[in-house]
């Protein structure tokens, strides 16, 4: 089973470690659900549901950002940035905490045996999403793509 999930926007993509993406999106969902606007945009619940699926299914799907309009991308980015701040403040998450999360239909995310997911690589992944959406992701080495969210940090594959 693959550990990588492609994240695409425009003509640019990078790979994300599925564990880090799952933790990031699950935490971003917590943020989104606690920051209810009034009135809620009609697309909000669909975007949160997409994030749930990406968090749990991970490497079996791509995260496609092109279909999102500017408001949806802004909301996603706000939730992701707040999630990174929260995870950094907590020093990451333990397997026990993640096991208590109901992300999608009673399922949590798969940690691939990790007892703890450090905040640093997850925050680096969140920053890569921000840079991707801003058109400012640095180019990867020739013939390769960046790979974000691994325990050892960014690499290229």
For the segment 32-76, what is each residue's pLDDT rounded down to a tens digit?
998 876 678 899 999 999 999 999 987 678 999 999 999 999 999
Going by pLDDT thresholds of 50, 70 and 90, the confidence category of residue 2 is confident
pTM recorded for the entire structure = 0.94
Angle between helices 70-90 and 44-57 (to 10 degrees): 50
pLDDT for the residue 32: 94
Name the token pair of 87.
Answer: 């995870």
CA–CA separation, 60 and 81 (whole Å): 24
53: Cβ contacts below 8 Å, ≥ 6 apart: 61, 104
pLDDT for the residue 117: 97
pLDDT for the residue 38: 67
């Amino acid at each position: 089973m693959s550990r990588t999930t492609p994240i695409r926007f425009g003509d640019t993509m990078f790979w994300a470690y599925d564990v880090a993406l799952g933790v990031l999106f699950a935490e971003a969902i917590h943020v989104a659900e606690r920051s209810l606007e009034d009135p809620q945009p009609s697309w909000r619940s669909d975007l949160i549901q997409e994030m749930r699926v990406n968090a749990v299914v991970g490497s079996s799907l791509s995260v496609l950002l092109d279909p999102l309009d500017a408001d949806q991308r802004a909301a996603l980015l706000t939730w992701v940035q707040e999630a990174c701040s929260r995870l950094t403040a907590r020093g990451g998450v333990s397997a026990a905490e993640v096991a208590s999360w109901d992300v999608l239909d009673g399922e949590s995310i798969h940690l691939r045996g990790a007892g703890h997911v450090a905040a640093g690589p997850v925050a680096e992944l969140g920053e890569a999403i921000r840079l991707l959406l801003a058109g400012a992701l640095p180019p990867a080495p020739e013939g390769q793509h960046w790979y974000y969210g691994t325990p050892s940090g960014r690499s290229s594959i």
